[in-house]
């Protein structure tokens, strides 16, 4: 068995997908039968890794009835997982698609609140889980109780275990970056928020990313910008990959799929250029599926062949 990629999800969700013919305020809106999927950043990464025949272990903190449904969903899909059971109920995120227009309303509810002892218990699970792992992925939002220091603790434990950490979150990332991570992934809007003003694409963004690498915060910085592509920056290279032309049906989980494609390719000892191309193709494949379904392996393989040439900045 190959070494697994361990994903870390402190704030998972039970994702609910509904469709209705038209959004109208007032009357009852009849929907299809709801689709329920386990969700949240790292959980989606593990789901995609499993679909692409990669080895993965999903660590997550979940409680209550919805936490049980997340666990059941992972088991049905065959995703290897370990749950830190908490007292608070796991959140439920609801997406409703208007079939006449294709527009989607996404309702993201507050996450569970983790007590200090639950945070400690979750972090304690990490050390044995990453022993022998090829990579760790910290992904998604942070719940109350874990905001200030959680990712920095994860970064320190991964460094001590000599396991590369890919961080894909917008919450409390600065302490983690001060610890230093292997790779940091963020979208351009969030980067603009961090900087405090809009930075140009792609050259200015690439320079910002290069500064983060030079300061030792990450060996690799990736910035994504939807249809404009994805930038990957290291100490001696800057790459830009545009996505293939697809007709999107749903963007839910596309960023998580990007991370899964990137990590799986790197774990198979392929180049950074190949990893970036795989990441972009995997994200595009998820755009083709409806709701919370995520990508299909055959779509990833087909879209990988349709990518434009990688550009070096």
Contacts of 31 (CB under 8 A, 6+ apart): 18, 19, 20, 96
Considering only CA atoms, which of 250, 245, 257 is closest in space to residue 282? 257
User: Tokens representing 300?
Assistant: 């990833």
Residue 253, CB half-sphere, CA atoms under 13 Å: how many? 37
The span from the CA of 234 to the CA of 288, in Å, is 30
The span from the CA of 307 to the CA of 244, in Å, is 5
Give the position of tokens 């890919």.
166
DSSP string covering 221-264, please? EEEE-GGG-EEEE-SS-EEEEPPPP---S--TTHHHHHHHHHHH
Catalytic machinery residues? 256
Considering only CA atoms, which of 212, 208, 151, 217 is closest in space to residue 182? 217
User: Tokens representing 133?
Assistant: 């792992």
The β-bridge partners of 312 are: 239
Q: How many CB atoms lie within 10 A of CB 228?
A: 14
Q: How many CB atoms lie within 10 A of CB 77?
A: 15
The span from the CA of 119 to the CA of 64, in Å, is 17
Q: 63 with 10: CB under 8 angstroms? A: no
Q: What angle do CA 3, 7, 10 make, to 5 degrees?
A: 155
The span from the CA of 100 to the CA of 86, in Å, is 40
Q: 9 with 61: CB under 8 angstroms? A: yes
Q: How many CB atoms lie within 10 A of CB 30?
A: 8
């Amino acid at each position: 068995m190959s070494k697994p990629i361990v994903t870390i999800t402190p704030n998972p969700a039970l994702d609910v997908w509904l469709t209705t013919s038209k959004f109208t305020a007032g009357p009852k809106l009849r929907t299809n039968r709801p689709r329920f999927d386990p969700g949240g950043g790292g959980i989606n990464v593990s789901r995609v890794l499993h679909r692409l025949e990669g080895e993965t272990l999903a660590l997550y903190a979940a409680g209550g009835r919805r936490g049980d449904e997340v666990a059941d969903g992972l088991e049905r899909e065959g995703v290897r997982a370990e749950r830190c059971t908490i007292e608070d109920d796991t959140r439920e995120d609801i997406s409703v698609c208007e079939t006449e227009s294709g527009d989607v309303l996404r309702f993201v509810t507050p996450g569970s609140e983790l007590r200090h002892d639950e945070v400690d218990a979750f972090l304690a699970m990490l050390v044995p889980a990453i022993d022998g792992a090829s990579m760790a992925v910290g992904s998604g939002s942070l719940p109350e109780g874990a905001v200030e220091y959680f990712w920095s603790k994860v970064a320190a434990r991964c460094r001590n275990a000599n396991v590369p950490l890919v961080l894909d979150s917008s919450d409390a990332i600065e302490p983690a970056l001060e610890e230093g991570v292997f790779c940091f992934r963020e979208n351009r809007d969030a980067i603009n928020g961090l900087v405090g003003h809009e930075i140009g694409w792609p050259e200015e963004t690439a320079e910002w990313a290069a500064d983060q690498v030079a300061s030792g915060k990450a060996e690799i910085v990736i910035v994504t910008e939807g249809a404009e592509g994805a930038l990957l920056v290291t100490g001696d290279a800057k790459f830009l990959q545009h996505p293939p032309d697809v007709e999107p049906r749903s963007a839910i989980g596309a960023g998580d799929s990007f991370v899964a494609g990137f990590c799986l390719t790197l774990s198979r000892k392929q180049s950074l250029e190949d990893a970036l191309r795989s990441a972009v193709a995997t994200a595009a494949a998820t755009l083709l599926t409806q709701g919370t379904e995520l990508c299909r392996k055959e779509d990833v393989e087909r879209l990988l062949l349709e990518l434009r040439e990688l550009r070096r900045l």
